[in-house]
Structure 1
Amino acid sequence: MLNAFDRPSSLGILPTMFRVLPYRVLPLFTFLITTCLVSLGQSAERPPNVLVIVADDLGLECVQSYGGLSYQTPNIDALAEKGMRFTHCFSNPLCSPSRAQLLTGRYPFRNGITRVIYQPENHREFLDPTQETSFATLLKKAGYATAIAGKWQVSFLHERDTLNAHGFDEYQMWQIFHDGQKTSRYANPTMRQNGKVLQAELKGKYGPDANVAFLIDFMRRHKDEPFLAYYTALLPHYPWEPTPDSEEPLRAADGDGDKKYMPDMVAYLDKQVGQLVAALDELKLRDKTLVIFVADNGTDRRITSKWSNGIETRNAVGGKGTMTDAGTRVPLVANWPGVIAAGKVNHDLIDLSDLLPTLVELTGASLPAKPIDGRSFLPQLRGEPGDPRSWIHVQDKQQRYVRNRDFIFTWQQQLRPVVETGQPKAATIKSPYNASQAEAAQQLKFAQQQIDGNK
């Protein structure tokens, strides 16, 4: 369990001291104590702000600094160039389980979100704030102002608006259903903002623009106190539609839209990353803010992108919904000037459960009582070795596996080799195993026992 940073204790002895001082000495003593406290307050470091950006359906093959060749991502790449890029970060194959895991630091089989929540008539589960504790709740208890904007999808907001209960003081989220109809997230969007549905107010607007404006306003209003700004971006998830920077005007797509807009949507997501970072610069908060960029799962399977692994160029088919590298290996970039050294590349295994303990250690918050699956990577951000994982966990509905760098081991006790993004899934290895395979199977089976035994 992590040791949270201790906060300074209050000076509760002052009333007693004042009572024993002579009356004529009191004004001078008051002046001296006040001066000392102001000096201490100025020298004490304020806890850092946190800006977390989560892209929707963005495999690492879409980002130039990860070898992507099909899309323009200069702002994400600038964060990587001046910060730390992680090469082996893993999600779940689909969004709701990944988002719940990010929020809680707990794997899907623990937090109850094992599949995508998108049909109100069929998907009745939700991330229950009476059972699960989000990192927003923990940071709020530690004195942070908290806000979220974008995509939720761990409950239906028209039925269960749980955002305040999950620790967010303010929010503006796409409300998927309104008056029995599915709504638009892009052109003429429907948003739920602090308990109120916004629809007519956003006519002619672009949903992601409304979300970013909301968060920038939040950061501006809370610039004098520590804050958590959580941007769960709608982009570049289908329907593929024109953005405000496309040649065509904004319009809601028929069905899933046209894949030709995927480059525009990735570019617009990247532009928004730049807008959020520029806002921090404008507010003179850049050096006081940890920025994390990550994605919820791999790229849609209908999208093929050019990608280079540094040796060869491939056509990388998106793997969203599949328990493969293409479906679960996602970009993770961390940037904090003056703390994270520029141009660092980290090859440790990371999964989305690791964000919560990292933020807890960073901010001095306290971990919840329930088992946490994540492991803090804050030491790595500071240039220290840390305590990296030897395996990560992936789940889709009832399918689960653990994996290390070379092998995947399922709960059906099947072993198969890891296959890199852009390559077809490998066949199961049949026993008898060779020495390296047998060692991997034994280690990964032990990891499974650790996970299931940690109730």
Structure 2
Amino acid sequence: MILKPIPLILLSFLWLPCNHISGQSTQPNIIMILADDIGPETLSVYGGQSYSTPVLDAMAAKGVTFLNAYSMPSCTPTRVHFLSGRSNVRNYVYFSCMDPNERTFVQDLKNAGYRTGAAGKWQLRGSQVYPEFYQQGLHPTDAGFEEWCLWQVDESGERYFDPLIETHQAPPTVRVGEYGPDIFNAFAIDFIENHKSEPFFLYYPMVLGHGPFHTPPGRTPSSNIHINFGNMLSYADQLIGNLAMKLEQLGIADNTLVIFAGDNGTSQRVPSKWNGHYVYGGKGATSQFGLHAPLIAYWPNNTSPGSYDSDLLEFTDFYPTFLEMAGLDMPRDKIYDGISFLDRLKGTNSGKSRKHVYGWFWPKPDKVAQPAPRTWIVTDEWKLYGTGQFFHSVTDRLERRNLQFSANPIVVAARNHCQALLDGYPSMPPAWGG
């Protein structure tokens, strides 16, 4: 399939409120779009100047853009964070593997009557990186998904051209002559169509724009990484536009929260123009370009058009937010780290605010030259690493001026406060002796 650009005249009608269809559930639908390796410096709403994303631009113009959302630096850690609502220090096992005993918010939504679907990248079942955990991680059905079309569940393989895809109805199959992103998008649209009269949760973890960097269908072939990444991002933008048009066609857009986020920083091989100068992506790094995630939300009659939210947010916060939207209480079976930001989606800021973000990152223990996990605390003004490095995030976003040994009383007090927060977390997950 060759994806054609959405006509400009149609862009003006995307992300608009509409009337309910007859028989539609009053419980809000939720669509979570998680782009792969797309950092904020790539999007114009965050100061990006290299790429064209008219659908996401329109979404931001009609919704709310979160300026201080934090993910983990790479794929699996963020996904574990997101689905479990718990810090990696409490439950991380191995790369591409999530503890199958972990509870997910998807299970809770399903039990409350939501129809649940997933389309795209899984990477939580276990992989050949660690043979002892191969296929021992969390299966999408066990995670709470009734219907799914995913890459990297029980087997690995290509994700783009001739992709190896598994569904809830079929084993891993090579789809010869097809393009993975198109398959996932079509599945997502069918899921929305089939459940338009029921409350649904759709998880759409896109495979774009993770490498290998290539030319999507219908684009001019190139071997340039920068050009190919831009074409991949543009293609992802148009796929998101397909979902928006389907919601409006069905008359359910006004009862649907749509969230777009990136799972971590852009590949370090990709240069992008940002606020007047070129920067490289920070995937895998714990710096600003590795942790700072783009996050845009649109919910008609709730989000304030063209608004910005500068308060802290992290991916564990989705769990309590989605449950509160569905009228559910948080489980009390274990420690959960998330704080609902439903009030911020509605523009009221009447709920509990997040005062800090904590991170624990050791994606591939025993497999990479990283002798110990990296840890950090981020507040609205400061950032402290477990190594002692200390930065004033407001004036030093690139972390070039280490204030670890500063004797300034204000700096000392802030550093001591952050250290106390850091000391309040376990040192290791249970799987690693914590």
What range is the shorter-chain TM-score in? 0.7 to 0.9
Pairing 1:14-25 to 2, within 5 Å after superposition? none
- The unaligned stretches of length 5 or more in structure 1 are 1-41, 118-125
Cross-structure match for 1:410:
385
Select which of 348, 364, 369 maps to 2:311. Answer: 348
Cross-structure match for 2:122:
152
The 8 Å contact of residues 38 and 266 in structure 2, kept in 1 or not, is answered as: yes
Cross-structure match for 2:131:
none
Cross-structure match for 1:246:
219
Equivalent position SS for 1:439 = helix
Cross-structure match for 1:122:
none
**1:231 and 1:80 mapped to 2: Cα distance?**
18
Select which of 251, 273, 277 maps to 1:306. Answer: 273
The 8 Å contact of residues 93 and 395 in structure 1, kept in 2 or not, is answered as: no
The 8 Å contact of residues 125 and 153 in structure 2, kept in 1 or not, is answered as: no
Equivalent position SS for 1:184 = coil
Cross-structure match for 2:130:
none
Select which of 170, 181, 188 maps to 1:208. Answer: 181
Tell me, yes or no, if structure 1 residue 116 matches structure 2 residue 87: no
Select which of 317, 321, 325 maps to 2:280. Answer: 317
Q: In the alignment, residue 95 of structure 2 is paired with which amino acid?
A: V
Q: In the alignment, residue 440 of structure 1 is paired with which amino acid?
A: A
Equivalent position SS for 1:196 = coil
**2:23 and 2:413 mapped to 1: Cα distance?**
53
Cross-structure match for 1:290:
257
Give how far 1:156 is off.
2.9
Cross-structure match for 1:128:
99
For residues 65-117 of structure 1, what are the alpha-carbon distances to aligned partners after superposition, in whole Å with 9 as ceiling and x for unaligned? 1111111111111111101000111111111000110111111111214x633
Give how far 1:43 is off.
10
Q: In the alignment, residue 319 of structure 1 is paired with which amino acid?
A: G
Equivalent position SS for 1:197 = coil
**1:44 and 1:225 mapped to 2: Cα distance?**
6
State the TM-score, normalized to the length of structure 1.
Answer: 0.80
Equivalent position SS for 2:305 = coil
Select which of 29, 46, 55 maps to 2:35. Answer: 55
**1:239 and 1:402 mapped to 2: Cα distance?**
33
More displaced, 319-328 or 431-440? Answer: 431-440
**2:395 and 2:109 mapped to 1: Cα distance?**
36
Give how far 1:442 is off.
2.5
CA RMSD of aligned residues (A): 2.5
Give how far 1:424 is off.
4.5
Number of residue pairs aligned between Structure 1 and Structure 2: 389
**2:162 and 2:406 mapped to 1: Cα distance?**
59
The alpha-carbon distance between structure 1 residues 430 and 336, as it changes in their structure 2 partners (threshold 3 A), is: closer
The alpha-carbon distance between structure 1 residues 285 and 212, as it changes in their structure 2 partners (threshold 3 A), is: same
Q: In the alignment, residue 282 of structure 2 is paired with which amino acid?
A: G
Cross-structure match for 2:369:
none
Cross-structure match for 1:387:
352
The 8 Å contact of residues 138 and 366 in structure 1, kept in 2 or not, is answered as: no
Give how far 1:427 is off.
4.5
Equivalent position SS for 2:106 = helix
Give how far 1:276 is off.
0.9
Q: In the alignment, residue 405 of structure 2 is paired with which amino acid?
A: S
Tell me, yes or no, if structure 1 residue 370 matches structure 2 residue 334: yes
User: Between Structure 1 and Structure 2, whose CA radius of gyration is higher?
Assistant: 1
Q: In the alignment, residue 143 of structure 1 is paired with which amino acid?
A: G
For residues 322-341 of structure 1, what are the alpha-carbon distances to aligned partners after superposition, in whole Å with 9 as ceiling and x for unaligned? 10001110111110111112
Identity in percent: 33
**1:52 and 1:413 mapped to 2: Cα distance?**
36
Pairing 1:158-197 to 2, within 5 Å after superposition? 159-160=135-136, 162-175=139-152, 178=155, 182-194=156-168, 196-197=170-171
The 8 Å contact of residues 120 and 181 in structure 2, kept in 1 or not, is answered as: yes
State the TM-score, normalized to the length of structure 2.
Answer: 0.84
Give how far 1:377 is off.
0.6
**1:409 and 1:296 mapped to 2: Cα distance?**
22
Pairing 1:434-445 to 2, within 5 Å after superposition? 434-445=408-419
